[in-house]
Structures are given as structure tokens and as C-alpha cells.
């Protein structure tokens, strides 16, 4: 979205100039580039969870927040349960949640109000675009209060209801998540489970699910039995559409995702970036070791994905299994800097080299891509990874960083500096609210291709300062 306040005062179109960092054309007046704020929502959106306890609301909230932040939509989660724990330092029992507990009701309302005040601050003052209000919100009265709050503040509302009647799924959720809750830190497992089941009962009597008739004017998705069925109503904009698409693709089936780079390439050895070179002798040895590793792991129904570049395909060819090529998994396009050494980029394009060090995530190579571009290119890959079970992705350094940042919830500032060494496999196993990471070095020597951010990123820096963190190469 472009800030047009200044534009509306001009009779004629302004001149355009290219932003040196992102290579984007922007209005230019009196020697200054006009402010341009990228916004993926036409007004702030409040996502509101609905459902009984132990239905996966917080799981959905955290995944959705992570996904939206990864694609560039500033999003924050507001968990009302956390506000309650901060207000009420010691949790005693389910009695606090009884519908006839006036003191409990008063505290819970105060916590919800406090959370909504923070939502207002985030969306109206701090520049957030989406807030996720994570609570039970089981009554029509409570939801009406939230809708009124949103209308008063100019926010759109989208409800996400999780309905589940499968006792096995509910029990599994309680064991995996609730037993580790601060509420039950001093209880035995059996005591915690018994108390939490009674807590659920406290909500059941007043629970009013979203109704196709009574709530026909609301925007919502109803997720039934962990994604076996969906009901979607009144999706009114782009961001709501993306939310629905994402929620319809995630699942909770136990699985692992394996990420690794191709074997060492000829250009890796020479310290040249990009290109489409073949594997070195050590790269071919890694591919053989990778096959042994996968056989030892004994992974059920493993799928293998590669890019369309020679070095990943050569690596997959040694595995003795079928694999699928994705153009979206190709390495970041370095544009005019393809197949150059960092020393050559500094020599021929010192300004570009410095600009990239200043903001590596948003910097776009001339006639090439930025990490920000790469994330957008990889969104279909992430969506398909969420749909799949066991997958090995053989990819490239920048691509692996983007995928890893999604699963580990890393910021745009952290993403371009994540360490993804050659000849190492990362095993990612989704757990309750995050991802367990295991690293396997397959003991085949390779060059180091990781370059840390140098201390001096000024455009006037010396060549020595610019090349301070360039890894050794032949």
C-alpha cells in the first residue's frame, strides 16, 4: 500500500527513481524518495479463536502467527490464558472456571479486556497488520463484544473455530500440551488430567458453536475433527483467503522433514556463488553417504524433492529412489553477480556489496532476487510440506535458510545468517508448539560457504573491512 498523502497534493505525476536496496521504482521529489510502506492488508485484521479447551486453538494460533510473519505480514499472538496466569500467580483447580464462580468470571473478563487493549495498541500504534486473539470465546455474547470492539477500532474480524469430539485426539492434546502447562507444574499427571477434564466440563454447558444461520454475517472457518472437514463463511479479502488456504493444509500426523544442501560443487570449492555446476569428488561422496544415512533411518514412505539445478539432481540420483524436481527450490538468483567470488563483487560492485550487508534480507541483486523474493517463491513449497508426511528436501544454502526460518520461527533479520553447512542433514520433527531439530554431520569434508555479517557495513568501507568475513576458498 502506498502512502498517497503527498501525492494527492500534486497535480502532475512525480518522477520515479529506483530504490538502491530493493531495486523498486518509487516516487521522487526534490531529491527525496517518497515514503512507501508495504502492506498486505487493506485494514488490520483480528483473528479470533473459538472452541472448548484442548481443541488445538493455541496450536493453530502459533502456527498461523509463524506463517503470516514468515510471508511478511506483521502478526502477533495474544493468549488470554497467559494474561490470566500473570494476573493469578497460583492456579488452584478447575473451580476457578466454574460458570457460577463470580470472582473467577470477573478476573477472566479483566484478562480478556487487557488482552484486547494490547491488541488495539499493536494494530493501531505499533504497525501490526494481524493480531491473533487466542481464547475459548465460546459464547455468542463474548464474540459480539469482540466484534463491537473491532468495529470501534476499524479492524476486520475473522473467527477460527476448532471443533473436535474424538476423545483420543483430546486426550493426546492434554498429554502433549497441558501437562507441561504452568498450571500443573506441581501436580501428578493423573491429577492434572482429571482437573483439566473438569475444566472442559465448565465450558461445555455454555458453549455456543458458530452457527450457519445465526452467524451467517460473520467471517469464519470452522475446522472439524482436526481438519477432516471444514466450513468456510464470508471470506472477504486476500489475507482471509490466505489464512483459510493455510489452515486447510496443515495436519497433526507425526512426521519428520529432512533438509540438506546438495553435495559440495565445483563452484563451492572456488568460492563462487550461484551458477549451475556439477558436484565435486567430495560432493559425490556425500551423496553416497546420504543414501546410507537414509537407509539407516528407515523412513516410512519418504518423498525426495530437489531443485532443477544440476548439483541437487546429481545428489538425488545417488539415492536410488524416485525424486521430484521443483523449480521453486532453485537457489537465489544473484543476477549480475552469478558465478562471481565475493572478492570480485567487492571489486566491481562495492556499493551493492555494502548495501547487501546493511540489509541482507531485503537487498535484491541487480537483475536478481532478494531473500524476501525467495520467501514468496517458496510459499507453495511450505504449503505442500505442511500437507505431506516424511520428506527429504535437497536444496541450496539460501533456500534451506528460508525453509528453516519458517519451521524455527526466525525473524527476517536472523534468516539470512542461519548456518546451513554442506554435508549436514537437519531432521525437523514437529512437536506441540514448535519443532525439534536434530543435526547429522555425514563426515565428508567440504568447504565452508557461510559468511557472517561484517562489523563495517558502511558504503565507504575499505576492501579489507568488506571482505572481513569471507570464508576461505581455493
Q: What residues act catalytically?
A: 134, 164, 262, 331
Contact 306, 241 (CB under 8 A): no
C-alpha cell at 301: 514412505
Helix (H, G, I), strand (E, B) or coil at 70: helix
Counting Cβ atoms within 10 Å, is residue 280 exposed (0-12), middle (13-18) or buried (19+)? buried
**Partners of residue 15 on adjacent β-strands:** 28
Query: E strand or H helix at 172, and its extent?
Result: helix 167-176
From residue 126, alpha-carbon distances to 115, 121, 155, 361, 467 in Å are: 15, 6, 14, 21, 37
Q: What's the rounded Cα separation, in Å, for the pair 344 and 316? A: 32
Return all residues near 325 (Cβ < 8 A) that are at least 6 apart: 305, 306, 307, 308, 313
**Torsion on CA atoms 455, 458, 462, 466, rounded to nearest 10:** 50
Q: How many CB atoms lie within 10 A of CB 68?
A: 24
Query: E strand or H helix at 53, and its extent?
Result: none
Looking at 270-423, which runs of residues are DSSP E strands?
303-306, 324-325, 391-395
Contact 418, 405 (CB under 8 A): yes
Comparing C-alpha atoms, which of 43, 42, 119, 39 is closest to residue 72? 39
Q: Please, what sign has the CA dihedral across residues 443, 447, 451, 455?
A: positive
Q: What's the rounded Cα separation, in Å, for the pair 392 and 229? A: 28
Contact 311, 283 (CB under 8 A): yes
- Radius of gyration (C-alpha) of the chain in whole angstroms: 26
Task: Give the β-pairing of 25-29 and 32-33.
Answer: antiparallel
Q: What's the rounded Cα separation, in Å, for the pair 251 and 228? A: 9
Q: What's the rounded Cα separation, in Å, for the pair 263 and 283? A: 4
Return all residues near 307 (Cβ < 8 A) that are at least 6 apart: 313, 325, 326, 327, 329, 330, 331, 394, 395, 396, 399
Helix (H, G, I), strand (E, B) or coil at 190: helix
Amino acid at each position: 500500500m502506498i502512502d498517497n498523502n503527498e501525492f494527492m497534493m500534486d497535480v502532475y505525476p512525480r518522477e520515479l527513481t529506483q530504490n538502491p536496496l530493493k531495486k523498486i521504482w518509487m516516487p521522487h521529489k526534490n531529491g527525496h524518495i517518497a515514503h512507501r510502506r508495504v502492506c498486505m492488508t487493506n485494514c488490520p485484521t483480528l483473528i479470533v479463536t473459538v472452541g472448548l479447551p484442548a481443541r488445538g486453538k493455541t496450536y493453530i494460533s502459533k502456527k498461523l502467527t509463524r506463517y503470516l510473519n514468515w510471508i511478511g505480514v506483521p502478526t502477533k499472538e495474544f493468549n488470554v490464558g497467559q494474561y490470566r496466569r500473570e494476573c493469578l500467580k497460583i492456579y488452584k483447580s478447575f473451580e476457578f472456571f466454574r460458570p457460577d464462580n463470580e470472582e473467577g468470571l470477573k478476573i477472566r473478563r479483566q484478562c480478556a479486556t487487557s488482552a484486547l487493549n494490547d491488541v488495539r495498541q499493536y494494530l493501531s500504534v505499533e504497525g501490526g497488520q494481524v493480531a491473533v486473539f487466542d481464547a475459548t470465546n465460546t459464547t455468542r455474547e463474548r464474540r459480539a463484544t469482540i466484534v463491537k470492539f473491532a468495529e470501534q477500532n476499524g479492524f476486520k474480524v475473522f473467527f477460527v473455530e476448532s471443533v473436535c469430539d474424538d476423545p483420543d485426539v483430546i486426550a493426546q492434546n492434554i498429554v502433549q500440551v497441558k501437562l507441561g502447562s504452568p498450571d500443573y507444574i506441581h501436580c501428578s499427571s493423573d491429577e492434572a488430567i482429571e482437573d483439566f477434564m473438569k475444566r472442559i466440563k465448565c465450558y461445555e454447558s455454555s458453549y455456543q458453536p458458530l452457527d450457519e444461520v445465526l452467524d451467517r454475517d460473520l467471517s469464519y472457518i470452522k475446522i472439524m475433527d482436526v481438519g477432516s472437514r471444514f466450513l468456510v463463511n464470508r471470506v472477504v479479502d486476500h489475507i482471509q483467503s490466505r489464512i483459510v488456504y493455510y489452515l486447510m493444509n496443515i495436519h497433526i500426523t507425526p512426521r519428520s522433514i529432512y533438509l540438506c544442501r546438495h553435495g559440495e560443487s565445483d563452484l563451492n570449492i572456488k568460492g563462487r556463488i550461484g551458477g549451475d555446476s556439477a558436484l565435486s569428488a567430495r560432493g559425490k561422496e556425500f551423496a553416497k553417504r546420504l543414501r546410507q544415512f537414509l537407509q539407516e533411518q528407515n523412513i516410512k514412505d519418504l518423498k525426495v524433492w530437489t531443485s532443477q539445478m544440476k548439483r541437487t539432481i546429481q545428489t538425488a540420483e545417488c539415492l536410488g529412489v524416485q525424486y521430484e524436481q521443483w523449480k521453486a527450490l532453485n537457489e537465489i538468483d544473484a543476477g549480475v553477480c552469478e558465478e562471481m567470488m565475493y572478492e570480485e563483487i567487492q571489486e566491481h560492485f562495492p556499493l551493492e556489496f555494502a548495501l547487501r550487508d546493511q540489509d541482507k534480507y531485503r537487498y535484491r541483486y541487480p537483475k536478481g532476487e532478494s531473500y524476501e523474493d525467495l520467501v514468496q517463491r517458496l510459499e507453495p513449497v511450505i504449503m505442500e510440506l505442511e500437507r505431506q508426511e516424511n520428506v527429504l528436501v535437497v536444496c541450496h544454502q539460501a533456500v534451506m535458510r528460508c525453509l528453516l526460518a519458517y519451521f524455527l520461527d526466525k525473524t527476517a533479520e536472523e534468516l539470512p545468517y542461519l548456518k546451513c553447512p554442506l554435508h549436514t542433514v537437519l531432521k525437523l520433527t514437529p512437536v506441540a508448539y514448535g519443532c525439534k531439530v536434530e543435526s547429522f554431520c555425514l563426515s565428508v569434508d567440504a568447504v565452508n560457504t557461510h559468511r557472517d555479517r561484517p562489523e563495517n557495513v558502511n558504503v565507504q568501507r575499505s576492501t579489507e573491512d568488506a571482505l572481513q568475513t569471507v570464508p576461505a576458498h581455493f
